[in-house]
Structure 1
Amino acid sequence: MKIGPTPDPAASLTQAGTAKQTKQASTAAPAAPVKDASSAAAGLPVTVSVLARALDKNASPLDDIDSAKVDSVRTAISDGTFTVDAEAIAGKLLSNAQELLSRPPGH
């Protein structure tokens, strides 16, 4: 037998979740600031190796891009005139495979 107003189940769940989050936040140790939002959400520390930092400092992705060629390929694709030379691709794949197979082990 229930006496009083019928409780709203959605409100009860919201209140319980808020109370649980407040309790966890007050008992948890303070976390170090994290720049990556996905790792902050997971609560996991993120470290970046010295090699990765060096690569990031030396990286200049725009130096290796021929923007005129990119624009011409983009235009050809949008116009429907872009063609793929399957023979050239197959030849390059074979030459790369031969190069890899001819290297001594460990290099």
Structure 2
Amino acid sequence: MKINNLPDKPAGAATGAGKPADRLPAANTQRNEAAGDAGVTVSLSATSQTISASVARAGGDVFNAQKVQAIKSAIENGTFTINSEAIADKLLSNARDMLGVAAK
């Protein structure tokens, strides 16, 4: 595919090229101007709501300063070991959980 290959359609015909205000119907433009800074309504998908609820249920901080300091000290002392099998198991478990939530 060449970069310079352009469709035979005039610019803006199907792609909506041009200024954003040019693409809005007149009624929407007037309503948006009248609304001012009224805000935008946002709704979360069921998956996002489920994830947010599970994070809220977990409670507490995700960051544990004492644990971070212990790991930092172990790294400095050369005694820090990594259990790659435990990390792999947790990654697979999290992936299964996420896919299960997304499939529902």
TM-score (ref. length: structure 1): 0.37
TM-score (ref. length: structure 2): 0.38
Which has the higher Rg, Structure 1 or Structure 2? 1
Comparing both structures, which one devotes a greater share of its residues to helix? 1
Query: Higher relative CO (CA 8 A, sep ≥ 6), structure 1 or 2?
Result: 2
